[in-house]
Structure 1
Amino acid sequence: MCLGIPGEVIELNTEQPDLAKVNVSGVRRSINIGLLEDEEVGPGDWILIHVGFALSKIDEREAEAALNFLKTIGKDYEDELDALRRSRIE
């Protein structure tokens, strides 16, 4: 199962503007934010991530609700976090 997971933007990559460092349930990775070029994204913002790409900007309440739901589905959520841990976008 592939999931969209909320993550909080920690910092923007000034050398590669399509990348941002994001915290997803304690896992910190570079995520491609290029699909959000029409939106202003910065530290503290929440984004919905799928396979290393930010699909949309979401508010903190929506992120919290999604994370709470994802935690209830167990293994699929843990598998997605494991995939994120192994990923490298640079």
Structure 2
Amino acid sequence: MCLAVPGQVLSIIGDDPLFRTGKVSFGGVMREVSLAYVPEVQVGDYVIVHVGFALSKVDEAAAQQTLDDLAEIWPESA
């Protein structure tokens, strides 16, 4: 089973769409993520991330619902 997790883009580095990266917050845990698959993403947007790649943009409500669901399944991760 694969797990993709929503996070909020805090900053973006780079102009070349293939090499753009962003600092993404997953409930306070920050990770550097490739934004190559989502060139339209801007700071403040929420993205679904799998193995270090942002795969799609999602709205804030959907991201928060997923984070709430994950916290219910794994309370120690919240």
TM-score class, shorter: 0.7 to 0.9
Aligned-pair CA distance for 1:15: 6.3
Aligned-pair CA distance for 1:14: 2.7
Which runs of 5 or more residues in structure 1 are unaligned?
A: 79-90
Quote the Cα distance in structure 2 between the aligned partners of 1:54 and 1:32.
6
Residues 32-70 of structure 1: per-residue CA shift (max 9 Å, x gap): 110113xx1111100001111101100000001110111
**Does residue 1:44 correspond to 2:29, yes or no?**
no
Which runs of 5 or more residues in structure 2 are unaligned?
A: none
TM-score (normalised: structure 2): 0.83
Q: How many aligned positions are there?
A: 75
Letter in 2 for 1:20: G
User: Going by fraction, where is helix more abundant, 1 or 2?
Assistant: 1
Aligned residues: CA RMSD: 2.1
Identify the residue that residue 35 of structure 1 maps to in structure 2. 37
User: Going by fraction, where is strand more abundant, 1 or 2?
Assistant: 2
Of 26, 29, 51, the match for 2:28 = 26
Identify the residue that residue 53 of structure 1 maps to in structure 2. 53
